[in-house]
Amino acid sequence: MINGKRIAVVLPAYNAEKTLEATVRDLPDLVDIRILVDDHSSDRTLEVAHRIGLQSFVHDRNYGYGRNQQTCYREALAAGADVVIMVHPDYQYTPLLTTAMASMIAYGVYDVVLGSRIIGGTALRGGMPLYKYVSNRLLTAFENLFLRVKLSEYHTGYRAFSREVLTRLPLRENSDDFVFDNQMLAQCVYFGFRIGEVSCPTKYFEEASSINFRRSVQYGLGVLGTTLQFALQRAHLSNSRIFSDSGKKLEVSVPTYYSGLSQQSGR
């Protein structure tokens, strides 16, 4: 807990058995709620989650990264979280930064905080493939131009949100795939939430999850589409559901596509 705010860490998992325990071990003690959502893994992710005492939820099939996040945020809100931090369980981002990120929201400095791999210039040294680095910089420049903000990157998976952000955004209108991340940030900008960044070292290694070149191209096209949707919406030339106050928001009631599992022994 920070400044009277309950802190939740959510871990959207898919085949993360090799790195999950190391990720959770580095989470600071101030985290009040630790939730893992398993997107129908084929490995022992759930067994590891049970052994280390995570509150776990499992999808009845593989829905995708975007749907996994929806479940993560819904269950964190249901558990009473005031600040929710998404930490990938593949140990690519250091969990030690959750204290700094949560504090910036708990004390009202920002509504959203991103762990940026670009600030500090360590992305390539951490093993980010050159094509991903170049595409990251180009897409970010394009988005900054049309969204009229200045972020160092939009494509990090390390993010912290206030409860208000998660309850107000029409997240159920977003994609079930990886472009969910980008749609969510575009929504944060559109609805006027304050976004901050912290420098975050990253490391690419065999067990760390990473989408292939084909999926990267698909994601990039999705980013361009989201940015153009945003620009058209702001110019009153479109009426997109993902930027509408009447769009479908997260509901605390549990949908039928996943189930909760009893929490096992503690850390």
For 228-266, the pLDDT digits (tens) are 999 999 999 999 999 999 999 998 777 899 998 755 434
Please list, in sequence order, all residues whose beta carbon lies within 8 angstroms of the beta carbon of residue 260, skipping any fewer than 6 positions away: 55, 56, 57, 75, 254
| Annotated domain spans of the chain | 7-245
Which amino acid, 191? F
pTM: 0.92
Sheet holding 55-59, edge to edge: 195-199, 112-116, 159-162, 83-86, 7-13, 33-38, 55-59, 258-261
- Tens of pLDDT, residues 17-71: 999 999 999 999 999 999 999 999 999 999 999 999 999 999 999 999 999 999 9
* CA–CA distances in Å: residue 129 to residues 125, 178, 216, 241: 10, 18, 12, 34
Q: Per DSSP, which regions of 67-176 are E strands?
A: 83-86, 112-116, 159-162
The tokens 């997107």 sit on which residue?
Answer: 39
Helix (H) / strand (E) element for 251: namely none
Phi-psi region of 53 (alpha: psi -120 to 50; beta: other; left: phi over 0): left
Span 79-126, pLDDT tens digits: 999 999 999 999 999 999 999 999 999 999 999 999 999 998 878 888
- The first and second tokens of residue 121, run together, are 């210039």
pLDDT at 131 over 90: no
3 state SS of 93: strand
Beta pairing class for 83-86 and 159-162: antiparallel
Sign of the Cα torsion 229, 230, 231, 234 reads positive
Distance CA 65, CA 72 (A): 10
Determine the 3-state secondary structure of 162 from DSSP. strand
Question: Is residue 84 within 8 Å of residue 160, measured between CB atoms?
Answer: yes
Helices H / strands E in the chain, number of each: 8, 8
Dist CA 86 CA 145 (whole Å): 27
3.30.43.10, 3.40.50.300, 3.90.550.10, 3.10.20.30: CATH of 7-245: 3.90.550.10
The answer for residues whose C-beta is within 8 angstroms of residue 237's C-beta and 6 or more apart is none
